[in-house]
Structure 1
Amino acid sequence: MSQTIKLKKGFDLNLAGKAENKTIEVTQPDTFALKPTDFNGLNRPKLVVKEGDNVKAGSPVFFERNEEDILYTSPVSGEIVEIKRGEKRKVLEIKILADKQVEFEKFKSYAASEISGVSKEDALDQLKKSGGWTNIIQRPYGIVANPADSPKAIFISAFDSSPLAPDYNYVLQGQEQYFQAGLDILKKFTTGTVHLNVDANAEVSQIFSNAKNVQLNKISGPHPAGNVGVQIHHLDPMSKGEIAWTVSPVGVAIIGKLFIEGVYDTSRLVALTGSQMKERGYAKMYAGASLNKLSMEGDNNRVISGNVLTGEGVGAEGYLGNYHNQVTAIPEGKYEEFLGWILPSTKKLSFHKAFGMLTFLNGKKEFEVDTNTHGEERNFVISGAFEEVMPMDILPTYLFKAILAEDYDDMEALGIYEVIEEDVALCEFIDISKNPLQEILREGIDLIKEG
């Protein structure tokens, strides 16, 4: 039965630079990169290619040694031109010099009416061989799902409440057939409910409202209302030993296209956002695309694959992350402020009224932010603010302290199975101690997973 959830806790970052609902023509870059670091929990990738090899979109590039049948595949066709390694020869990037015209590996295709008749075994085999399985993320831990597990439910958040987030109604227009096929394939892997969650305060596209074989839930409230982890917490909370799967709306459509067209096509409309982006709108890009064809204002910018809270600063020569549907450009903040961090201001965006109290008088003003942290890292200050922006029955301050103390019992008791980095990103943003809370949380998740 559909549910309506109204959230009060949270904080919306109203930033300048939202993408207009228009498609921008961007020249396809010369190079793409598949990065093992995009996949949490992937510790031991085994390459199946070498420099000089030619691949197609959907050709295997590497696999995890502990899950050899799940293949991580190329997003485009072309030549492997560089395998970049880090410490202890850890694979960081596999760079591909792309063909002018993308060629795809061919997998079995089905008519839309045949999808319901595809067996679970055949669906699993095609997903694992094509790279499509990597779109399915497991909770807890936020890692690529284990095909041997049977999730209690599957959750899809059809809206993103992050700063300058893409509009999925626009991103997925015209992909109704692929989206429904993806839902039908996913339903084969659970005896539970497939939850499709929409924004209760916005117009809902027919691609979501007409979706079949799902439970359509309405969620309202400030960010992080669009986070699938927050939605799981209120719809069907996680307990120790339970497993749920999550898939992004774009991932659902990619899976559906894999079965309808027989190709693993990672292209998507990517929102080009931020005050330093010259033209803001949506550009068709493949996963792993180089960002060097995008036009920015000025040279001193932070180019982020993703949003300002959870994205990765990759630079103008960096690459689009595998799971990202947004690129953000904001100014660097390499300057010092004499008491600037404590003086009231009409220009600063702050959750704390004591520091940015005048901003609360500006209604829906859009703020141009930079990367300045307005302070430096210091010892934990317990202010109670974290609980005001986290709409979950979790005590984040004590969870972070349990992680730092490597107290496994307290980590479990305080809800580490329910959260990943995006769920604590607002805590990091408002933290007056300037601690890397998302990084700390991932360290705790890795401890629990390996313990």
Structure 2
Amino acid sequence: MQKHIIKKGLSLPIKGNPYPTINKAKAVSRVALLGDDYNGMKPTLAVQVGDTVKKGQVVFEDKKTAGLKYTAPAAGTVIEINRGAKRKFESLIIEVDGDEEITFESVGHNWHDLNRDYVVNVMAESGLWTTLRTRPFDKAPMLDSVPASIFVTAIDTDPLSVNPEIAVAEKSEEFLMGLRALSQLTDNVHVCVGPTVDIPGNGVDGINFHVFEGPHPAGLPGTHIHMIDPVGPNKTVWHIGYQDVSAIGTLISTGKLDSQRYISIGGPAAKEP
């Protein structure tokens, strides 16, 4: 395990840090896919307003990247498809209703059965391939591309952010399975954590742990990439968030799409941060 110390930066002293506990939130009534979340993507729509969709169903594909699919994060009815200037895609909104979902191919807990073709296919079909981002350009990678390395961001130095250790502990087996899946896509997976974070995966073949200590931007993937495996004109790396890694593990273990994410609520005005 390597340690990297960041000396320059700034951590904002905002009051109201979230308590290290998890509370169940109320169910949401609407979910959306936002165009600004997917840099450079131009959709070919597979649904229209009024259509009923299942969780995991393809709602559009990327015209620019063959096989890149975007799926519904919940079952319900498509109530809005919004476009802006020059027909730029802005959002697709689903009113949540029911729990119908599509089930994908899984390997259970038999991680020895994992291989690159299976991982690429199941991530693409479920829409989870879009959780990967390239550096440079910050786009979803092409399905047949191979990065020099993949960075898992399991540290967050943003003010009032979720403690990754708490979120990963809720899905530790899924997180580990997700790491094993990512190791099928490249020979080098770098997991970047904070100085006090203890999460599973250290010692697994192809998984390298790095500790980052210091003020913000110690928790940003750009910082990690610059210090560990910098990109170049002919070199690309990928990065992904730790909660998306757990979702990949859930998908591979159960065949189900996990849309649940942990968020923090804090700040000076929060009664119970």
Q: TM-score w.r.t. structure 1 length?
A: 0.58
Residue 197 of structure 1 aligns with which residue? Answer: 192
Residue 13 of structure 2 aligns with which residue? Answer: 14
8 Å contact from structure 2 (residues 168, 199) kept in 1: no
8 Å contact from structure 2 (residues 179, 201) kept in 1: no
CA distance in 1, matches of 2:31, 2:107: 29
Instruction: Give the drift of 1:212.
Output: 5.6
CA distance in 2, matches of 1:212, 1:17: 40
1:251 aligns with 2:250: no
Change (3 A) 1:158 1:76: same
1:230 aligns with 2:227: no
Indicate which of 163, 170, 176 corresponds to 1:174. 170
Aligned sequence identity (%): 30
Residue 64 of structure 2 aligns with which residue? Answer: 66
CA distance in 2, matches of 1:102, 1:270: 22
| Matched letter for residue 32 of structure 1 | V
Note the alpha carbon deviations across 1:294-342, whole angstroms, 9 max, x for none. Answer: xxxxxxxxxxxxxxxxxxxxxxxxxxxxxxxxxxxxxxxxxxxxxxxxx
CA distance in 1, matches of 2:249, 2:199: 17
Residue 208 of structure 2 aligns with which residue? Answer: 215
Note the alpha carbon deviations across 1:37-64, whole angstroms, 9 max, x for none. Answer: 211121x211110011111111111111
Residue 96 of structure 1 aligns with which residue? Answer: 94
Q: TM-score w.r.t. structure 2 length?
A: 0.94
CA distance in 1, matches of 2:211, 2:22: 28
1:108 aligns with 2:101: no
Residue 78 of structure 2 aligns with which residue? Answer: 80
Instruction: Give the drift of 1:22.
Output: 2.0
1:271 aligns with 2:269: no
CA distance in 2, matches of 1:271, 1:116: 35
8 Å contact from structure 1 (residues 140, 243) kept in 2: yes
Structure 2 spans left out of the alignment, 5+ residues: none
Change (3 A) 1:12 1:194: same
Residue 120 of structure 1 aligns with which residue? Answer: 116
| Matched letter for residue 76 of structure 2 | G
8 Å contact from structure 1 (residues 116, 184) kept in 2: no
8 Å contact from structure 1 (residues 180, 211) kept in 2: no
Note the alpha carbon deviations across 1:172-218, whole angstroms, 9 max, x for none. Answer: 22312111111111111113x11112212x2x224355666411111
8 Å contact from structure 2 (residues 201, 207) kept in 1: no
Three-state SS of the structure 2 residue aligned to 1:121 is helix
Three-state SS of the structure 2 residue aligned to 1:189 is coil
CA distance in 1, matches of 2:118, 2:25: 37
CA distance in 1, matches of 2:271, 2:38: 30
Note the alpha carbon deviations across 1:359-417, whole angstroms, 9 max, x for none. Answer: xxxxxxxxxxxxxxxxxxxxxxxxxxxxxxxxxxxxxxxxxxxxxxxxxxxxxxxxxxx
Instruction: Give the drift of 1:97.
Output: 0.9
Residue 255 of structure 2 aligns with which residue? Answer: 262
The RMSD of aligned alpha carbons is 1.7
Note the alpha carbon deviations across 1:78-125, whole angstroms, 9 max, x for none. Answer: 0111112212332211111101x433210012221x223222112211
Change (3 A) 1:278 1:71: farther
CA distance in 2, matches of 1:111, 1:132: 18
CA distance in 2, matches of 1:145, 1:38: 14
Note the alpha carbon deviations across 1:269-300, whole angstroms, 9 max, x for none. Answer: 211123334442xxxxxxxxxxxxxxxxxxxx
| Matched letter for residue 17 of structure 2 | K
8 Å contact from structure 2 (residues 66, 142) kept in 1: no
Instruction: Give the drift of 1:247.
Output: 1.1
Residue 158 of structure 2 aligns with which residue? Answer: 162
| Matched letter for residue 190 of structure 2 | H
Structure of higher RCO (CA pairs closer than 8 Å, 6+ residues apart): 2
Residue 4 of structure 1 aligns with which residue? Answer: 3
| Matched letter for residue 178 of structure 1 | E
CA distance in 2, matches of 1:278, 1:61: 39
CA distance in 1, matches of 2:136, 2:228: 15
| Matched letter for residue 69 of structure 2 | L
CA distance in 2, matches of 1:125, 1:206: 27
Instruction: Give the drift of 1:265.
Output: 1.2
CA distance in 1, matches of 2:201, 2:252: 19
Residue 141 of structure 2 aligns with which residue? Answer: 145
Change (3 A) 1:11 1:211: farther
CA distance in 1, matches of 2:272, 2:114: 43
Residue 48 of structure 2 aligns with which residue? Answer: 50
Three-state SS of the structure 2 residue aligned to 1:184 is helix
CA distance in 2, matches of 1:128, 1:155: 19
Larger-Rg structure? 1
Taking the TM superposition and a 5 Å limit, the aligned residue runs for 1:227-376 are 227-280=220-273
Three-state SS of the structure 1 residue aligned to 2:249 is helix
Three-state SS of the structure 2 residue aligned to 1:269 is coil
Residue 179 of structure 2 aligns with which residue? Answer: 183
